[in-house]
Every structure is written in structure tokens, then in C-alpha cells.
Amino acid sequence: MPPSRTKDRPFKRSFMEALVRSEASGSWDERANTTNAPVYKELQRATQDNYFHALEMWDGFLTSLDDDWVKDPNDLRTAKGFVSFIASDIPGRERGSKPSQSSVTQNWKWARRGCIKPEVKTSTRNASLGRVSVSESVLLTSLQYIMGELQQKMQLPLRKRVRRFAAVPHFIRLGTQLWGRDWATYGRPGDRVDLWAEIQLNVFTSARVGEYIESTARAGSGRGLRYQDVSFGIFRNEYGDAEFAMQVVKDAKGMIFLPCRRPEHSLHEGLEERPLFCNPILTHLAMFIAKGAFRDFKTMEQLLTLKPSNEEEMFLLRWEPHMLDLPIYQRKDGKVESASTFSTRLRSLARRAGYACPPTIHDFRAEALFLIGKPLALSRMRQAGHRDDRTYAEYYAPTNPGTDGRGSYFGGTRRTLVNGRFRALTVAWNPELYQSLPAEKMCELEKRLGFTTIEEQLLELCLCDDNSEVAEKRKQLQTQKRRLVADELR
């Protein structure tokens, strides 16, 4: 046996040395307790729910079949029938619309993973909860059936949804509605601040909705942004003035086992003059002070007395030790905020601001990634938490590339305003919606004689039998009502 270390192999360890160290650590005893059972990836609770739902659908489908059907998933007729069954059950994005081809494919994947166990597993991701064995040829045929015959029969859209871009004007309208014109009440005084802080953080860091709070895909996991993931400090800016800033660690998609690669994003107060609700530090600082999160500073007056020296790059403020593992955005019970609650509040706010089809966090993310990607594609990848630039090109890039052909042709300054205005049009805004009125104006309008008369006549029409005359009268009254609201909005 060669020695453990020689001139040519200075850092190699011999088998005997490794065996001694292994026995000393107890690994030999652990090896004796291992079994021959396969090990599968641990599923999230939401994924398990999807699988169990698919299993219930499969069992229900089998009970609904007539006697002339073969109740075996290896039968192609039965497999196609089940695919058609689950496709007809999926609602479209809009009322009365049909699901996209990709939605049907995704539900079929849940079904096959939940209740169909392939004969040959090629990946631990195919862990099955069911008890049915199906050949790979049937699985492939079913997918081809979705993309071909079923798509033509049901006229399934090939595109899930049109990519929209929520630009700066949309953000400004939401902030103006929430802080200047909103009539909605929240359960706690801090809920309004928390909502806007979450919107700011998601928009300014190009985040997905579940990367700072608990997403529906991670339901019950408790994952979300915590104080230990946030660095908050004060520094001297370009003009020599003291300015607060913070840095957050994003729990990006697909990086649960790669914490060292999770993106970090910095937020600051800004140098340009903008409305106060554009300052993410203001909202988060209010949250931190209200919760007593800082170890050495408890009031705003104490923080404002801080004067960082010119030599210090950043003076960090320390958290209270008991706050480190607490979530930044909390529910009433102290647990991390859920994405469903946040999304519901965002949709309600957007509707009150005049959006019949409210912008989503992904719409803000798409706009931010487009703007971030202008100087350098690598910066955009880091900002988005992507591993390559193909994800942006496939799912986020606008069909308008943002170039200025005229400016480039004549060698002048490239304009970005025109393309930005057109991208902003992908999120429709209606300034004449009734709920966009401030609470005081709405109350005054509802008490006016003309408005109350219209409301009474509409109520009377509800008691009448539906016919063309009643429908026409209702349409005229609704038009008069919209005119009163439009006049008030002006």
C-alpha cells in the first residue's frame, strides 16, 4: 500500500486513514442502518395538495365511465378521455374564456405525478403518491394529444396570457390612490404601511410575489424575508448628506439549496425629487421604529441625530437579538404574511385606482427587468434571480425591443420615452370608475337628488321581468350614472 503522503501526492489520504476516521465518526454504524428503498425529493405542501386533488379527479373519472370503457390508464382511449375531462374543468383567466394549452399540460403533469407512476423513473422529481403504473408511451401520447387533437377540438389558446408592463405611471397612480384618495379601511393601522412597503420592495427589486412572503406554492413553509436577511444603515451620499439605505436577501425561486447564490438588492431614499411614497426607506423605517427592531435606537429623533463620518462607508444599525428570526411582513398572529392576502389587497387597491384588470407584481417585474437589462444582461440576470438569460427572453422580454430606429439612423440621442409610453398601455387604466372617487366626494355624490333617483329607478327595474325594454331602460340609467361620476372625477 502506498504511503498516505509522498512528494507527488502531498495531500492524499490513504484508505486506512480514511477508514479509521470513518469508524471514529460513527459512519460505519449509520451504514449498517441504510435500506434499499429509493429516496425522493420532499414535496411542498401545495404540490402535495395538487397531487392529491389529481388523484381524486382520477378516481372520480373512473367511477363515471360506462361499462364499455376500459378502466385502465394504459388504455389510450381512457387516457385521452381523462385528459379531456381535466381540460374541461380548468377555468380560463377571464370569465368565459378557455384555459391555455400550457395550463392543461401542467394539470396533466400533476395528474400523472399524483396518480400515474411511470414504469421507469428517470428522476427523483417523479415521486408518485398513487398506485397505478403507466407506460411511457401512453404518457407521451397524452401530451401529444393535448398539443394536437385536443387543442384543435377545444380551441385552446396557445398563449397563456399577454405580457403586460406596469410602468412608472401605474406605480404613481397606486401610491396616489393609497395615500391621497383612498376610502378603504384596514384591520390594523399598520396594514396600509405594510402593503405599500411590500409593493415597493417587490417593484424595486424585480421580485416574484412569493420571494419575500409566503407564496401559495410554499404554503405552510414559513419562508419569507426576516430581519436577519436585512442590513440597514446610514451613509453619506454624493452631496455629503446623511442618507439611510438597506439591503435585502431575496429567497429566489429554485435557490432553497443554494443560499450562497441568493440575490441581494439595495434600496435607498433617492436623489431626485419624487413623491414621498416613492421612498422605500420611509415606509420600512416606520415599520422598524414601530416594532422597536433596532437595538440601540428606539425613536426617529435618535436616528436623525446620526452623523456618519466621511471615512465610514456605511454605518450599520444592529437589530434586537430576538427580532432576527422574525418575518418583516407579519400577519396578526405573528406568522409571515401570505401571498394570497397581499395579492388580494393589491387587486382591491388597483381597482379603486381605476384598473378594471389590475396590474400584478409580475407586470411590475417585467417592466423593471426590461429597464435593468438595458446596460448589461448579466445585471438583469442577477436582479431577477435567473440562471441564464433565456428565461427573460422567453417570458419577460417585450415584443417592442425598446430601440429608437429614427434616433439611431440619424445618429442622435436615443429616445426611450415613446417606447415606455407604449409599454405602459399594456396595463389598461380607466380614470372614470366609480370606486376611484375619494370617500368624501363619493358620499356627497350618493346623497344628491339626481343620483339617488337613478339608484331608486335601477332598484325598481331589478323587480321587473327581464325584456328588451327593461334592458334598454337599465342601460340608459347606467349611462346617466356614469356621466355623474365622470363629472365628479373632473
Co-location of 132 and 79 in the same domain: yes
- Whether 248 contacts 230, CB under 8 Å: yes
At residue 324 the predicted structure's pLDDT band, cuts being 50, 70 and 90, is very high
* 401 within a domain of the structure (yes/no): no
| Residue range of the domain that includes 22 | 1-34
Name the amino acid, one letter, at 413: T
Same-domain pairing of 313 and 238: yes
pTM for this structure? 0.71
Q: Are 241 and 344 members of one domain?
A: yes
- pLDDT for position 373: 60
Sheet holding 242-249, edge to edge: 264-268, 242-249, 230-236, 315-317
Q: Which three cell numbers stand for residue 41?
A: 425529493
pLDDT at site 82: 85
The grid coordinates listed for 472 are 334598454
Higher pLDDT, 294 or 379: 294
457-474: pLDDT as tens digits: 878 777 777 777 778 888
Segment 33-54 shows an average pLDDT of 77
Q: How far apart are the first and last CA of the chain?
A: 92
Which amino acid type is present at position 195? L
327-374 residue pLDDT tens? 999 988 888 898 899 999 999 999 999 898 899 999 998 888 887 765
Select the more confidently predicted residue: 115 or 29.
29
Burial class (CB in 10 A: 0-12, 13-18, 19+), 107: buried
Residue in the structure block whose three cell numbers are 412569493: 210
Structure confidence at residue 418 (pLDDT): 55
Q: Is residue 116 part of a domain?
A: yes
Tens-digit pLDDT profile for residues 407-432: 444 355 665 655 665 666 677 766 66
DSSP 306: -
Question: Does 412 map to a domain?
Answer: no
User: Which triple of cell numbers denotes residue 227?
Assistant: 430581519
Rg of the chain, C-alpha, whole Å: 29
Same domain, 210 and 337: yes
My answer on whether 57 and 91 are in the same domain is: yes
**Three cell numbers at 357?**
384588470
**Rounded Cα–Cα distance for residues 316 and 318 (Å):** 6
Q: Quick one: 19 and 85 in the same domain? A: no
Per residue in 296-318, pLDDT (tens digit) is 888 899 898 888 876 667 788 88
Q: Domain of 331: which CATH number? A: 1.10.443
Instruction: For residues 87 and 233, state if they share a domain.
Output: no
Q: What is the DSSP string of 441-463?
A: HHHHHHHSHHHHHHHHHHHHHHT
Q: What pLDDT does residue 121 have?
A: 38
CB 134 within 8 A of CB 82: no
Same domain, residue pair 100 and 9? no
Least confident of 24-28, 246-250, 277-281: 24-28
Q: Is residue 394 part of a domain?
A: no
How many independent structural domains does the chain possess?
4
Give yes or no: residues 217 and 334 share one domain: yes
Reduced to 3 states (helix: H, G, I; strand: E, B; else coil), residue 248 is strand
Mean local confidence (pLDDT), 138-142: 82
pLDDT digits (tens, 9 = 90+) for 163-189: 888 888 999 999 999 999 888 888 888
Task: Decide if 381 is inside a domain.
Answer: no
What integer best gives the mean pLDDT of the chain? Answer: 78
pLDDT of residue 454: 81
pLDDT for the residue 292: 92
Residue 397 lies in a domain: no
Tell me, yes or no, whether 231 lies in a domain: yes
More confident site: 6 or 484: 484
Co-location of 177 and 315 in the same domain: yes
